[in-house]
Amino acid sequence: MDSRPFQEIPCAFCSKPVNLGIDLCADENGKAVHEACYVQHVTSPGNPTAAIMAN
């Protein structure tokens, strides 16, 4: 039996493996990230994306 049902891709933010069946989310560049990491990224004060959107 295959013991590796999902390919693991490192999260663009925290570098921990993203489980494609559970955690998969993609940032604006299409990289695999954890949904929680992405939310933290877009809501963190002073991040470039939020600064652009505020303008």
Nearest distance from C-beta of residue 21 to Zn ion, angstroms: 15
Query: Contact between 12 and Zn ion (CB under 5 A)?
Result: no
Query: Contact between 23 and Zn ion (CB under 5 A)?
Result: no
Q: By the 8 A CB rule, do 8 and 2 touch?
A: no
Tokens of 51: 């600064």
Query: Contact between 34 and Zn ion (CB under 5 A)?
Result: yes
Among 14, 20, 26, 51, binds Zn ion (CB under 5 A): 14
Q: Which residues contact Zn ion (rule: CB under 5 A)?
A: 11, 13-14, 34, 37
